[in-house]
Amino acid sequence: MSQLKMIAITSELAEKVRTSRVSPGYGHPVTAKVATGHGPCRHCLRPFVVGQDVRLLFTLNPFDEVAPIRQPGPVFIHEEACERYVEEKGYPSELLRFGAVLDGYDRDQLVRRREMVTDGSQETTIEKMMQDPLVRYVMVRDGSAGCYGFRVERQEGS
């Protein structure tokens, strides 16, 4: 079992976006469109079915409640309710085929280490990054678009 937690957006936040159709903290309108890319959904961490799934696009600050400097960007969730990814489940296997940029941040919100992974070794690479005591968490970003996917932290007691 992994010593890492994969942290998707909360169910409360996803439901608020689905209901209000407004980006949390920014007030920008949410856009609904049929998926033209894999995503993933930032709530269930599953890739979208291109041409089939309807996804909601909105602005999110992934550093909310983690670090003081806001860095908003575009994210997607399924328009229909989906189950939140289980934090202790390890790196989402359905995302291993997609490249990822892994940014390891310290307590001052500075990138201490950055890795680009395209060979399916995301979890192993994150585990190595987390061995650095200065790396507090890792932000997983899409390997081509660069947008935020989810956050990785150490499990309690790790």
Residue 158 has a pLDDT of 55
Provide the residue-wise pLDDT of the chain in tens; the chain has 158 residues: 469 999 999 999 999 999 999 999 999 999 999 999 999 999 999 999 999 999 999 999 999 989 999 999 999 999 999 999 999 999 999 999 999 999 999 999 999 999 999 999 999 999 999 999 999 999 999 998 899 999 999 987 65
Query: In this structure, what is the dihedral angle of CA atoms 140, 63, 109, 73, given to the nearest 10 degrees?
Result: 70
Q: How many CB atoms lie within 10 A of CB 146?
A: 9
